[in-house]
Amino acid sequence: MEVVKITPRGYCHGVVEAIRIAKRVGADRGGSEPVTMLGYLVHNEHVTRELEEGGVRLIPETDRMKGLEQIREGTVIFTAHGISPEVVDAARTRGLNVVDATCSDVTRTHDLVRRLVAEDYHVIYIGKRGHPEPAGVLGIAPDRITLIESGDEVDSLPFTADDKLAVTCQTTLSMWDTQSIIEALVHRYPHIEAHNEICLATQERQEAAVLAADNVDCVVVVGSSRSSNSKRLVQVVEEKGHKPAFLVDTAADVDPAWFTGMRRIGVTAGASTPTHLTRAVIAAIETLPEVPAAV
């Protein structure tokens, strides 16, 4: 089977930096005090296991405040997705040493939301409920930020066209979905201040996957089912590239039956997927024989 390796794919700068920070803290402090990541540092179980082997334990709790209550001492590492200021304050009050591995792109959105709130805007934030990144942003000013997930929610928003509104978004959503939600908001609230904060790494991976879809029969995305940006790669290939797409965590998840009647398979990877997993998936697909479709 022919494999088209889609670039860019895999680790982004935010993930590389978060892993570097966590490994360093684990190595420096792990021998003398508990070192705990509050939630998955990045959404990939293989990365998590490697960090645990390096002395960094995981509290998987999605509700960061509840997770924090389980940490009695030592160092707490906040994940690449960002953290609510309330949780940071609570960690300090508990006497924990705080290490923040928030991606600089997420920090930029936090700074933007802080500025908008200080300037008296109400912020509409497009994001996925239950994901840690929106939770971190909402914590900046819970009464001044409204989370929406889809364009269907725009019509039921309680604001008037005269309200001082701004819109921004989670960094790892589909760039096309987000743009259409922003357009619906601009249509209803012509004076809204719009800030599309999809990060460059997400945009580049989505654009490359959709472009590649023209020249392949399907796309395999290597990434965790927890990973927002990996799931969005599957979505944009299907919706914008109009080709089938499959999410696999490892080579063991590749199902040869997917490729019946196909010749060229595109492979990409989410921003939190270790390179060795993607290499193994590519090798596994390359060894598969072409199977013609039944007539």
Minimum distance from residue 101 beta carbon to ligand SF4 (Å): 9
Residue with tokens 């590649």: 212
DSSP 293: P
Chain residue whose CB lies nearest ligand SF4: 14
Q: Which of 35, 51, 77, 199 binds ligand SF4 (CB under 6 A)?
A: 199
Amino acid at 187: H
At 243, list the tokens: 């080709």
Q: Which residue has the tokens 């799931």?
A: 231
Q: Mask: binding to ligand SF4, 107-126, rule CB under 6 A, as x and -?
A: --------------------
Beta bridge partners of 141: none
Q: Strand 193-194 and strand 145-148: pairing?
A: unpaired
Catalytic one of 2, 17, 61, 133: 133
Segment 70-99, which members bind ligand SF4 (CB under 6 A)? Answer: 80
Q: Which of positions 15-44 make contact with ligand SF4 (CB under 6 A)?
A: 15
Burial zone of 17 (CB within 10 Å; 0-12 exposed, 13-18 middle, 19+ buried): middle
Pick the stretch among 9-17, 50-58, 244-252, 276-284 that binds ligand SF4 (CB under 6 A).
9-17
Q: Which of 38, 201, 219, 262 binds ligand SF4 (CB under 6 A)?
A: 201
> 218 to 237, contacts with ligand SF4 by CB under 6 A?
229
Question: Helix %, strand %, coil % for the chain, to 5?
Answer: 45, 15, 40
Among 13, 108, 114, 144, binds ligand SF4 (CB under 6 A): 13
Phi/psi of residue 76, each to 5°? -115, 135
Whether 69 is catalytic is no
Is residue 271 part of the contact set for ligand SF4 (CB under 6 A)?
A: yes
Q: Would you say 106 and 133 are in contact if contact means Cβ atoms under 8 Å apart?
A: yes
What residues are annotated to the active site?
A: 133
Interface contacts to ligand SF4, rule CB under 6 A:
12-15, 80, 103, 105-106, 171-172, 199, 201-202, 229, 271
